[in-house]
Chain A
Amino acid sequence: MLYREAGQYKSTYRGDQAIFPIAQDRFGLFVLLAVAFVAVPLVANEYWLRSILVPFLVYSLAALGLNILTGYAGQVSLGSAGFMAVGAFAAYNLAIRLDLPFYVYLPLAGLITAAVGIVFGLPSLRIKGFYLVVTTLAAHFFIEWIFTKVPWFTNYTPSGVISAPTMVLAGIVLDSPMERYLVTLVIVALLTLAAKNMVRSAIGRAWMAVRDMDVAAEIIGIPMLKTKLLAFAISSFYLGIAGALWAFVYLGAVDAQAFDLARAFQILFMIIIGGLGSILGSFLGAGFIVLLPIAITNLAALFGGAIHANTLANLEHVVFGSLIVIFLIVEPYGLARLWQIGKEKLRLWPFPH
């Protein structure tokens, strides 16, 4: 009834190829953006902005980056945390050594990460599947090692911790939680739009062709070298920006341990739970992983402290692990697929005949 597309005819290919061809989707997106940009800053308190929304957005961006590489181009990678570290350390060095403003050093850090991603993406031309996972794992350990062992990257701070340079935009220092939230939101929104545009254009089709059947892709004339390396570069660009935001907008000060292998697995779980090869899935997966521990803690609080904190921490792992297993069995295509099924059902509701 509410979600019915009958009568919405498309008479041009331009109309049919719009991002959201259905009017209700456009309206929904408009409401979502209005909530994110207007309502949330008005309503949300500091805790929500600082501890939930900002990490959610940064995780979404990282998941989006990995989804481009793994979900769309089919190259499974465990290097995501490593590339985030490259982004963070590149941004730090650009900021303190060259004294650049954040709207310059952030994209530059992304470009540096993209270059690093291309180097570590080179093996993908020869190997695939599990063997590629192992080479990206090697990339992860190499990056972690170099940022721990070479003091130049941390500007010779004895602890190995890099701390956030101040972010100034048009003379205003951005340091309140709300300002930081809005900066992150703008960056994530723009990069999401770019990602959506890429995956519905020729480059996105080339990635999916490589993912679904690389031999056929090569025979219809898709150059493997360019397509795979572009996927690595763009994915790393997104991860680099996410890493810089993680370090300087969310945490404030980090060392290389903030980007350990657990982080890489976390991002991989996000895209598996959210949906491989789906932009929406990146956000749903990130939301799931950020919100679930909080939901469990709050549920436990209902029992009035009857559950010991240590038990709670273990309980979190148990619930989390079992949910992932259940998800993989029940809906291997992730939350994004559930959303799609829901929309299909809604088209007929409430008259399913």
Chain B
Amino acid sequence: MTSSGRVIGDVLLQVDNISLSFGGVRALTDVSFDIRQHEIGAIIGPNGAGKSSMLNCINGFYHPQAGTITYKGMARKQMRPHEAAAQGVARTFQNIALFKGMTVLDNIMTGRLLKMRQNFFMQALYWGPAQREEIKHREHVERIIDFLEIQAIRKMPAGRLPYGLQKRVELGRALAAEPDLLLLDEPMAGMNVEEKEDMCRFILDVNDEFGTTIVLIEHDMGVVMDISDRVVVLDYGRKIADGKPDDVRSDQRVIDAYLGVSH
């Protein structure tokens, strides 16, 4: 499904011949693909195919041994996660990584940290510019809270929320950074149908309204085929298919990877 009026732009992220191994285990072998601006790209594959490792490489958490990642036209190899964040890459995690002791509001406010300029001394005084800055960012965060329809829980500690809402708050925290590239690691894992539909709607709206480029990992094939523009299929750390959802669905190698082949 492609939303109306959405223009797929130039290549935003180019992954070339990435190889990553942990000791003797090869997590990724020679993987190449690209993601264009405003696109929703999906990475799928059986368990252990290297999907999460791929995301970890993109946002600088892992450093691949070979290959280059070109983001916004700049090639990079070694990068710390917070540098990637500064360049507009945000992500959510497969196992929710919220700050459990903090309220929903504070959790989403942490997503704005990179945009806050006041030093700790001004914050200690909570005077003038520091206070204005807090309020300005609070306004932005409230817009995200409205967007995700979580107004009622904004002052609740994140750790006490049900699973589906935690996933939603985590998406909110990633959105607060106003990312250019949003990486979603299984945003719908463990959700019921209704929650999945909500999450799909949020993802499509984010893509449509904010023009955010999205790369997601998902196991629910119905969702993947519905919302993504392009699908990359990994198996045992190798790319086995790349293309439009319909082409990928009928690809014999993808079917083999998922269903197995008789020997």
Those of A1-44 within 8 Å (CB) of chain B: 13-14, 16-17
Query: Which of chain A's residues have a CB closer than 8 A to the CB of B113?
Result: 202, 205-206, 209, 220-222
| Interface presence of A203 (CB below 8 A) | yes
Residue from the list A200, A212, A219 in contact with B91, Cβ < 8 A: A219
Query: Which of chain A's residues have a CB closer than 8 A to the CB of B98?
Result: 212-213, 216
Query: Which of chain A's residues have a CB closer than 8 A to the CB of B100?
Result: 212-213
| Interface presence of A313 (CB below 8 A) | no
| Interface presence of A215 (CB below 8 A) | yes
Cβ A218 vs Cβ B82 within 8 A: yes
Number of inter-chain CB pairs below 8 Å = 108
Between B80, B98, B118, B126, the greatest number of chain A beta carbons within 10 A of the residue's beta carbon is seen for B126
In terms of DSSP, what is the predominant structure of the interface of chain B?
helix
Cβ B102 vs Cβ A212 within 8 A: yes
Q: Which of B14-22, B127-135, B235-243 contacts A (4 or more CB under 8 A)?
A: B127-135
Between B90, B123, B174, the greatest number of chain A beta carbons within 10 A of the residue's beta carbon is seen for B123
Those of B72-125 within 8 Å (CB) of chain A: 80-82, 84-86, 90-91, 93, 97-102, 106, 109-114, 116, 118, 120, 123-125
Cβ A221 vs Cβ B101 within 8 A: no
Cβ B110 vs Cβ A194 within 8 A: no
Cβ A216 vs Cβ B85 within 8 A: no
Between B101, B131, B174, the greatest number of chain A beta carbons within 10 A of the residue's beta carbon is seen for B101
A202-B99 in contact given A14-B135, A219-B85 (Cβ < 8 Å): no
Residue from the list B59, B85, B99, B131 in contact with A208, Cβ < 8 A: B99
Interface range, B side: 35 or more
| Interface presence of B139 (CB below 8 A) | yes
Query: Which of chain A's residues have a CB closer than 8 A to the CB of B203?
Result: none
Proximity bits, A194-233, B CB within 8 Å = 1, else 0: 1101101111111011011101111111111000001000
Query: Which of chain A's residues have a CB closer than 8 A to the CB of B120?
Result: 198, 201, 203, 230, 234
Q: Count the A residues whose beta carbon is within 8 Å of the partner chain — how many?
A: 33
Cβ B85 vs Cβ A220 within 8 A: yes
Cβ B110 vs Cβ A217 within 8 A: yes
Query: Which of chain A's residues have a CB closer than 8 A to the CB of B81?
Result: 218-219, 221
**Which residue of chain A lies nearest to B87 when distances are taken between CB atoms in the complex?**
A221
Q: How far is the CA of A16 from the CA of B80 in the complex (A)?
A: 36
| Interface presence of A110 (CB below 8 A) | no
Cβ A205 vs Cβ B85 within 8 A: no
| Interface presence of B202 (CB below 8 A) | no
Q: Can you identify 15 A-B contacts, CB atoms within 8 angstroms? A: A13-B138, A13-B139, A17-B135, A194-B124, A197-B123, A201-B123, A202-B109, A202-B113, A203-B123, A205-B109, A209-B110, A213-B99, A218-B82, A219-B59, A220-B90
